[in-house]
Amino acid sequence: MPDGKTVILTNARVLQGRRLRNPDVAVRAGKITYVGPHSDAPDGISVDLNGAVLSPGLIDLHTHGIERLYAADAPLAEYSLVEARHGVTSFLPTLIPREAEAFLATIRRIRQEMRADLPGAGCPGIYLEGPWLAARGGMNDRFLRQSMEDDLRERIMEAGGGGIRIIGLSPELIRAPGNIRNLTARGIVVAVTHTRCDIMQLNSATDAGASLATHLFDVYEQGRTTEPGVYPVGIVETILADDRIFAEIISDGVHVPPTWLRICLRCKGPERIVLVTDSMTGAGLPSGAYRLPDGAQITIREGDGARNSDGGLYGSALTMDRAVRGMVRFGKAALPDALRMASETPAALLGMSGRKGRIQPGYDADLTAFIPGDEYRVVMTMVAGRIVYRAPELA
């Protein structure tokens, strides 16, 4: 679209609050300037969305790979274009532990590329899933740290240059509460993850400022029975009951069984659930085997997660459009609520409320249009008022 021109998005079902309505949406200079009746819309270049659902832009908060790209090695510009095809307007490349110098070099590379105007989805920061993790999950034990050394922490902060937005760590590690306070004081969201902690250690982490549970239900210890016949309470149940904690959910029906999705929705509500992909290379592609840059093979199957050579889950095969579909299909969420979990709620977690996550005047013109149904097919993605992806039927 020409710079400086007003664009009118029309003939769409627009998400407003918990309802889908039919106003026109005007965009100018990267912002939403008008939401209202067609008869009162300003003059501008009209884009007919052919009855699609228009949502605030989807935010891919936790992604390790997508299609043939791996976040730790792919050029950020390429990653941003692929994300945009799946309705994403902002994403956080998520890094798992590697050898220290390679880890730091990757952080520096992404921080540098973040500063450019990306051609697709924007990148507001980096997500570090480790290296301070007690439970391996699918990760390499060699690169995990059992305590937070000040030297490595400060080297990571320096490499990030203010670009690190989320750090996931295990609450039971030595000096975890003090380090959580240190990180949150710098504006970093601290997530509890990959943990065997007890309830007391979890509460200490939350009291220190931890506010997110990484991929809840996955790599968390179950509660231990203390009285025969009495159902135990563990950290998952404690997180569900604590309104201070946002919960990441992988809504593919594999990482979290459908019944747990519904329980989580009842406990947390859409204002505290963040839909994530935790996607791995191959996500969004047909079933098959795909290789990471280090030579490891990942297998993707329809209706399943990404699996490593041992057959264990290793991230997901989701993209954000499919994550929304999964929360409706498996979690029985209303579509407006599922869209909120993929847009407004992650925006709030990242401190971007008032700028992103709603379709109303003054907000960034980050918008996603899709056709609901079996595939939730994206037909348009707009970032800061620029159409960065358009399906052929809208050309």
pLDDT, tens digit, 9 for 90 and up, residues 332-373: 999 999 999 999 999 999 999 999 999 999 999 999 999 987
Q: Determine the pLDDT at residue 311.
A: 84
Phi, psi of 76 (to 5 degrees): -60, -35
In a domain, 297, yes or no: no
Shared-domain flag, residues 172 and 233:
yes
Pick the catalytic residue from 24, 218, 252, 278.
278
Distance CA 110, CA 354 (A): 26
Of 392, 368, 393, the C-alpha closest to 378 is 368
Same domain for 130 and 50, yes or no, is: no
CATH number reported for the structural domain that contains residue 372 in this entry: 2.30.40.10
If you compute the radius of gyration of the chain from its CA atoms, what whole number of angstroms results? 21
Mean pLDDT within 242-246: 97
What pLDDT does 1 receive? Answer: 52
Domain count for the chain: 2
Query: Tens digits of per-residue pLDDT, 39-70?
Result: 899 999 999 999 999 999 999 999 999 999 99
Domain that holds residue 276: 60-283+314-349
Tell me if 385 is assigned to some domain.
Answer: yes
CA–CA separation, 49 and 19 (whole Å): 18
Is 141 tagged catalytic? no
pLDDT of residue 336: 96
* Pick from 231, 230, 275: nearest CA to 256: 275
pLDDT band at 135 (very low <50, low <70, confident <90, very high): confident
Rounded to whole angstroms, how far apart are CA atoms 242 and 259?
20
pLDDT attached to residue 3:
60
Tell me, what's the pLDDT at 309?
A: 81
Residues 313-324: pLDDT tens digits? 888 999 999 999
